Chain A
Amino acid sequence: MHPSLRFALRRFAVGALILLAVSLLVFVGCEILPGDVAQVALGQFATPESIRALHQQFGLDRPAPLRYLEWLIGILHGDWGMSMGTKVPVAQLLGERLANTAMLAGATTIVAIPLALALGLLMALRAGSRFDRAASVVVLALSATPEFLIGTLAVMLFSVHLNWLPAVAQVTFGGGWAALARSLLLPVITLSIVVAAQIARMTRATIVNLLDLPFIEMATLKGVPRRRIILVHALINAVGPIANVVALNIAYLVSGIVVVETIFAFPGVARLMVDAVQARDLPVVQACAMLFCFAYVVLILAADLLAVLFNPRLRRGIHPDGSAG
Chain B
Amino acid sequence: MQAAAPILAIDRLVVAPAAGGAPVVDGISLAVSPGEVLALIGESGSGKTTLALAALGYVRPGLAVRSGRIRLGATDLLGAGEAKLQDLRGRRATYIAQSAAASFNPALRLDAQVTEPARVHRLRPLAEALAKARLLYRRLDLPEPERIGQRFPHEVSGGQLQRFMIAMGLIEGPQLVVCDEPTSALDVTTQVEVLKAFKAVIRDGSTAGLFVSHDLAVVAQLADRIIVLRRGALVEQGTTEAILAAPQEPYTRELIAACRRWDRRRPASPPRVAACAAAPARLEVVDVTAGFGPREPMTGRPTITAVDAAALAVRPREVVAIIGESGSGKSTLAQVIAGLHPAAAGEIRLDGAALAPAVARRSLDQRRRVQIVFQMADTALNPRHRVGRIIGRALAFFGRAPRARRPARIAELLALVRLPASYAERRPGELSGGEKQRVNLARALAAEPDVLICDEITSALDTVVAAAIVRLVEDLRDRLGLAVLFISHDLATVATLADRVVVMRRGKIVERGPTGELLARPTHPYTRLLLASVPELRIGWLEEAAGRRAALLPEFAETGAAPVADVDRGREDAHAG
Contact = CB atoms under 8 A, between A and B. Distances in A.
Interface of A: 213-215, 217-226, 228, 232-233, 236-237, 310-313, 317-320, 322-325
B104 A220 contact: no
B200 interface: no
A242 to B, nearest CB: 13
Contact of A320 (B89, B105, B106, B108): B106
Contacts of A325: 576
Given A222-B168, A223-B120, A224-B116, A237 B99 contact: no
Given A223-B91, A223-B117, A225-B86, A311 B573 contact: no
A318 B102 contact: no
A216 B569 CA distance: 26
A310 B108 CA distance: 11
Contacts of A217: 60, 103
B386 interface: no
Contacts of B87: 223
A221 B95 contact: yes
B120 A215 contact: no
Contact of B105 (A237, A310, A317): A237
Contacts of B94: 221-222
B120 A221 contact: no
A325 B577 CA distance: 10
B56 interface: yes
Contacts of A310: 107
B106 A313 contact: yes
A232 B105 CA distance: 10
Contact of A311 (B90, B107, B575): B107
A312 B154 contact: yes
Given A223-B89, A225-B86, A218 B572 contact: no
B541 interface: no
A215 B572 contact: no
Contact of A323 (B86, B90, B102, B575): B575
A215 B575 contact: no
Contacts of A317: 576
A73 B82 CA distance: 67
A221 B102 contact: no
B198 interface: no
Contacts of B152: 312-313
Given A220-B58, A222-B90, A224-B90, A324 B106 contact: no
Contacts of A232: 108
A196 B95 CA distance: 40
Contacts of B121: 223
Given A223-B88, A225-B120, A236-B108, A218 B103 contact: yes
B99 to A, nearest CB: 7
Contact of A237 (B56, B95, B107, B576): B107
9 contacts: A217-B60, A218-B103, A222-B168, A223-B90, A224-B86, A228-B120, A236-B108, A312-B154, A317-B576
B575 A222 contact: no
Contacts of B572: 318-319, 322-324
B102 A214 contact: yes
Nearest to B568: A322
Q: Which 5 pairs between the two chains have the least Cβ-Cβ distance? A: A324-B576, A223-B90, A223-B89, A222-B90, A214-B102
Given A312-B152, A323-B575, A215 B105 contact: yes
Contacts of A236: 105, 107-108
B92 to A, nearest CB: 9
Interface of B: 53, 56, 58, 60, 82, 85-91, 94-95, 97, 99, 102-108, 116-117, 120-121, 152, 154, 168, 568-569, 572-573, 575-576
Contacts of B105: 215, 219, 233, 236-237
B576 A222 contact: no
Contacts of B88: 223
Contacts of B91: 223
A318 B90 contact: no
Contact of B99 (A214, A221, A226, A313): A214
Contact of A214 (B103, B116, B168, B569): B103
Nearest to A234: B105
Nearest to B572: A324
A148 to B, nearest CB: 42
Contacts of B95: 218, 221-222
B77 to A, nearest CB: 13
Given A215-B102, A220-B58, A318 B569 contact: yes
A232 B90 CA distance: 17
A312 B107 contact: yes
A269 B120 CA distance: 54
Nearest to B178: A221
B120 A313 contact: no
Nearest to B85: A223
B117 A222 contact: yes
Contacts of B107: 236-237, 310-312
A220 B97 contact: no
Contacts of A319: 572
Contacts of A237: 105-107
Nearest to B103: A218
Contacts of A220: 58, 89
Nearest to A218: B103
A222 to B, nearest CB: 4
A312 B154 CA distance: 9
A262 B457 CA distance: 64
A324 B573 contact: yes
Nearest to A236: B107
Contacts of B569: 318
Given A222-B116, A323-B572, A325-B576, A318 B154 contact: yes
A321 to B, nearest CB: 10
Nearest to A323: B575
Given A214-B99, A236-B107, A221 B56 contact: yes
A280 to B, nearest CB: 46
Nearest to A317: B576
A129 to B, nearest CB: 14
Given A218-B104, A220-B89, A224-B86, 4 more contacts: A214-B99, A218-B103, A222-B116, A318-B572
B554 to A, nearest CB: 31
Given A318-B569, A318-B572, A223 B86 contact: yes
A221 B89 contact: yes
Contacts of B102: 213-215
Nearest to A214: B102
Contact of B120 (A224, A311, A323, A324): A224
A214 B180 CA distance: 13
Contacts of A226: 82
Contacts of B120: 222-225, 228
Contacts of A219: 105, 116
A222 B56 CA distance: 10
B97 A214 contact: yes
A213 to B, nearest CB: 7
A320 B103 CA distance: 14
Nearest to A320: B106
Nearest to B86: A223
B117 A215 contact: no
B121 to A, nearest CB: 6
A116 B576 CA distance: 36
A233 B107 CA distance: 8
Contacts of A312: 106-107, 152, 154
Contacts of A228: 120
Contacts of B103: 214-215, 217-218
A139 to B, nearest CB: 23
A92 B60 CA distance: 64
Nearest to A238: B107
Nearest to B154: A313
Contacts of A322: 568, 572
Contacts of A324: 572-573, 575-576
B178 to A, nearest CB: 8
B84 to A, nearest CB: 10
